[in-house]
């Protein structure tokens, strides 16, 4: 029998934002399948409830709880952390997966409001969450934080420029958190997806020409699927990645080789 202790998350508490659908949902499923108790969170409570119910049915009662939260509001994030403590206990794994992109076009034309929303939701909210959760991990001398960035962080875009800026800032945030929290036993890494077939990225792949072009330039010859992110979530949350921190781990089918 194969020993899978390295990936065993039994007894771990995992909090994931943006996890009621898409990649976040898949990551929550993966963590629960390996023994963790997971908090499913996004803006809409009914979607959180639905996902948590499906995880509980697949992995056993009590495997998931649903707590709605809009990451743009500090008080809602604090409530998310407080409710996690109340319902499950101290947090071992944090995945900041929620993000926004309300603007598609040149950065020369982006309204201040849209710019602020992108930067505040995609970067500042992750710092807020890390600060709220870190005390749990510091007390245990161990923990894992992952923030979803993007391969868009590695280059410019004529239509997604501010989003890409925010995702590069997330990598910088990860490196600084890794530097400061490393001595406390906390690992902090970024997950950088390529083009994945989710509702969030639908405008980039949901037409035959765009999908054909993306498939042709991807060495593995397909777009990403949400389930492709189960493994990276389990890896980063488990003892298998005990000596990995401050990294931008690219999950892209080979489109970005660094």
CA separation for the pair 70, 162 (Å, rounded): 20
The secondary structure of residue 71, as a DSSP letter, is: T
Judge whether 163 counts as a catalytic residue: yes
CA separation for the pair 137, 114 (Å, rounded): 34
The secondary structure of residue 94, as a DSSP letter, is: E
234's tokens: 């389990």
Q: How many helices (H) and strands (E) does the chain have?
A: 9, 7
What is the full DSSP assignment across 245-258?
A: -S-EEEESTTS---
* Residues whose CB falls within 8 Å of the CB of residue 68, separated by 6 or more in sequence, listed in order: 41, 42, 43, 44, 45, 48
What is the full DSSP assignment across 234-246?
A: HHHHSGGGTT--S
The answer to whether 149 and 131 have CB atoms below 8 angstroms apart is no
CA separation for the pair 167, 163 (Å, rounded): 6
CA separation for the pair 85, 88 (Å, rounded): 6
143's tokens: 């923990």
CA separation for the pair 180, 170 (Å, rounded): 15
124's tokens: 């500042």
Point out the residues that are catalytic. Answer: 163
């Amino acid at each position: 029998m194969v020993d899978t202790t390295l990936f065993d998350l039994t007894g771990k508490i995992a909090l994931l934002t943006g996890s009621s659908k898409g990649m976040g949902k898949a990551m929550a499923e993966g963590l629960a399948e390996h023994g963790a108790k997971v908090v499913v969170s996004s803006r809409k409570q009914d979607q959180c409830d639905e996902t948590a119910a499906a995880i509980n049915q697949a992995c056993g009662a009590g495997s998931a709880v649903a707590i709605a939260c809009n990451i743009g509001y500090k008080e809602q994030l604090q409530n998310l952390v407080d409710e996690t403590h109340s319902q499950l206990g101290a947090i071992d794994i944090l995945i900041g997966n929620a993000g926004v992109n309300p603007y598609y076009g040149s950065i020369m034309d982006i309204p201040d409001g849209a710019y602020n929303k992108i930067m505040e939701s995609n970067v500042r909210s992750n710092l807020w969450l890390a600060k709220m959760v870190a005390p749990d991990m510091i007390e245990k001398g161990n923990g894992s934080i992952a923030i979803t960035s993007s391969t868009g962080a590695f280059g410019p875009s004529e239509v997604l420029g501010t989003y890409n800026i925010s995702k590069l800032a997330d990598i910088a945030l990860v490196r600084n958190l890794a530097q400061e929290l490393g001595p406390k036993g906390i690992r902090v890494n970024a997950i950088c997806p390529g083009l994945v077939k989710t509702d969030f990225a639908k405008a980039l792949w949901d037409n035959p020409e765009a999908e054909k072009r993306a498939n042709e330039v991807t060495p593995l010859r397909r777009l990403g699927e949400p389930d492709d992110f189960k493994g990276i979530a389990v890896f980063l949350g488990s003892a298998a990645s005990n000596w990995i921190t401050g990294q931008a781990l690219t999950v892209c089918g080979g489109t970005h080789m660094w």
